[in-house]
Amino acid sequence: MKKTEMRNASSEELVQRYEELAAERGAEIEHGSAKAANRAFQEETTIKRELGRRGAASLGLLLPLLRSTDPWVRMDAAVPALFFASQEAVPVLEELGLRGRALGITAKITLQQWRSGELGRSF
Protein backbone atom coordinates (compact mmCIF):
# COMPACT_ATOMS: atom_id res chain seq x y z
CA MET A 1 0.00 0.00 0.00
CA LYS A 2 1.45 3.35 -1.02
CA LYS A 3 1.45 6.40 1.24
CA THR A 4 -1.24 8.14 -0.83
CA GLU A 5 -3.43 5.03 -0.58
CA MET A 6 -2.86 4.98 3.17
CA ARG A 7 -3.98 8.57 3.56
CA ASN A 8 -7.19 7.78 1.67
CA ALA A 9 -7.90 4.54 3.53
CA SER A 10 -10.01 4.45 6.67
CA SER A 11 -8.29 3.72 9.97
CA GLU A 12 -10.14 0.40 10.08
CA GLU A 13 -8.75 -0.53 6.65
CA LEU A 14 -5.25 0.37 7.80
CA VAL A 15 -5.59 -1.81 10.90
CA GLN A 16 -6.82 -4.68 8.75
CA ARG A 17 -3.77 -4.29 6.48
CA TYR A 18 -1.52 -4.05 9.56
CA GLU A 19 -2.92 -7.36 10.81
CA GLU A 20 -2.27 -9.00 7.43
CA LEU A 21 1.28 -7.67 7.36
CA ALA A 22 2.02 -8.81 10.91
CA ALA A 23 0.92 -12.35 10.08
CA GLU A 24 2.91 -12.27 6.84
CA ARG A 25 6.01 -10.95 8.60
CA GLY A 26 5.84 -13.67 11.23
CA ALA A 27 5.50 -16.39 8.61
CA GLU A 28 8.43 -14.97 6.66
CA ILE A 29 10.60 -14.82 9.78
CA GLU A 30 9.77 -18.42 10.62
CA HIS A 31 10.61 -19.49 7.07
CA GLY A 32 13.91 -17.62 7.11
CA SER A 33 12.99 -14.99 4.56
CA ALA A 34 14.41 -11.84 6.12
CA LYS A 35 13.99 -9.72 2.99
CA ALA A 36 10.24 -10.38 2.75
CA ALA A 37 9.84 -9.94 6.52
CA ASN A 38 11.60 -6.59 6.36
CA ARG A 39 9.32 -5.41 3.53
CA ALA A 40 6.25 -6.27 5.62
CA PHE A 41 7.78 -4.54 8.65
CA GLN A 42 8.46 -1.36 6.67
CA GLU A 43 4.84 -1.17 5.55
CA GLU A 44 3.67 -1.85 9.12
CA THR A 45 5.82 1.04 10.32
CA THR A 46 4.30 3.36 7.73
CA ILE A 47 0.81 2.33 8.82
CA LYS A 48 1.68 2.94 12.50
CA ARG A 49 2.87 6.42 11.61
CA GLU A 50 -0.32 7.15 9.68
CA LEU A 51 -2.48 5.90 12.54
CA GLY A 52 -0.42 7.99 14.96
CA ARG A 53 -0.88 11.04 12.76
CA ARG A 54 -4.63 10.48 12.97
CA GLY A 55 -4.56 10.38 16.77
CA ALA A 56 -5.22 8.20 19.79
CA ALA A 57 -8.57 6.85 18.60
CA SER A 58 -6.98 5.46 15.43
CA LEU A 59 -4.05 3.93 17.32
CA GLY A 60 -6.54 2.40 19.76
CA LEU A 61 -7.94 0.32 16.90
CA LEU A 62 -4.81 -1.83 17.23
CA LEU A 63 -5.83 -3.03 20.70
CA PRO A 64 -8.24 -5.79 19.56
CA LEU A 65 -5.28 -7.32 17.71
CA LEU A 66 -3.78 -8.13 21.12
CA ARG A 67 -6.30 -10.99 21.24
CA SER A 68 -5.52 -12.39 17.78
CA THR A 69 -5.02 -16.11 17.39
CA ASP A 70 -1.81 -15.34 15.49
CA PRO A 71 1.04 -14.72 17.96
CA TRP A 72 2.92 -12.49 15.50
CA VAL A 73 -0.14 -10.26 15.16
CA ARG A 74 -0.32 -10.00 18.96
CA MET A 75 3.39 -9.17 19.03
CA ASP A 76 3.16 -6.44 16.43
CA ALA A 77 0.09 -4.92 18.08
CA ALA A 78 1.68 -5.01 21.52
CA VAL A 79 4.78 -3.02 20.59
CA PRO A 80 3.04 0.28 19.75
CA ALA A 81 0.47 -0.37 22.50
CA LEU A 82 3.28 -0.21 25.07
CA PHE A 83 3.24 3.56 24.58
CA PHE A 84 -0.49 4.12 25.12
CA ALA A 85 -1.92 0.98 26.74
CA SER A 86 0.99 -0.67 28.54
CA GLN A 87 -1.31 -2.41 31.03
CA GLU A 88 -2.73 -4.40 28.11
CA ALA A 89 0.45 -4.81 26.09
CA VAL A 90 2.89 -5.97 28.78
CA PRO A 91 1.05 -9.22 29.64
CA VAL A 92 0.87 -10.09 25.95
CA LEU A 93 4.61 -9.63 25.52
CA GLU A 94 5.34 -11.51 28.74
CA GLU A 95 3.30 -14.48 27.50
CA LEU A 96 4.94 -14.39 24.08
CA GLY A 97 8.34 -14.15 25.76
CA LEU A 98 7.79 -17.63 27.20
CA ARG A 99 7.80 -19.09 23.70
CA GLY A 100 10.94 -20.19 22.03
CA ARG A 101 12.52 -19.20 18.79
CA ALA A 102 12.38 -15.78 17.18
CA LEU A 103 9.01 -14.77 18.57
CA GLY A 104 9.94 -15.34 22.22
CA ILE A 105 13.32 -13.68 21.88
CA THR A 106 11.78 -10.67 20.13
CA ALA A 107 9.13 -10.27 22.83
CA LYS A 108 11.70 -10.51 25.64
CA ILE A 109 14.06 -7.99 24.06
CA THR A 110 11.20 -5.61 23.29
CA LEU A 111 10.07 -5.64 26.92
CA GLN A 112 13.63 -5.17 28.17
CA GLN A 113 14.17 -2.20 25.89
CA TRP A 114 10.82 -0.65 26.80
CA ARG A 115 11.41 -1.06 30.54
CA SER A 116 14.86 0.51 30.27
CA GLY A 117 13.54 3.41 28.17
CA GLU A 118 15.54 2.37 25.10
CA LEU A 119 12.60 1.40 22.89
CA GLY A 120 11.89 4.19 20.44
CA ARG A 121 8.36 5.15 19.52
CA SER A 122 7.80 4.55 15.80
CA PHE A 123 4.54 6.46 15.36
pTM: 0.94
Please count the other Cβ atoms lying within 10 Å of the Cβ belonging to residue 41.
Answer: 18
- When pLDDT is cut at 50, 70 and 90, the band that residue 100 belongs to is confident
- For the chain, domain boundaries: 3-116
Length of the chain: 123
- pLDDT of 123 reads 78
DSSP structure class, residue 6: H
* The pLDDT of residue 4 is above 90: no
Q: Which CATH number applies to 3-116: 3.30.1360, 1.10.357, 1.25.40, 1.10.3470?
A: 1.25.40
- When pLDDT is cut at 50, 70 and 90, the band that residue 8 belongs to is very high
Which of 77 and 1 is assigned the larger pLDDT?
Answer: 77
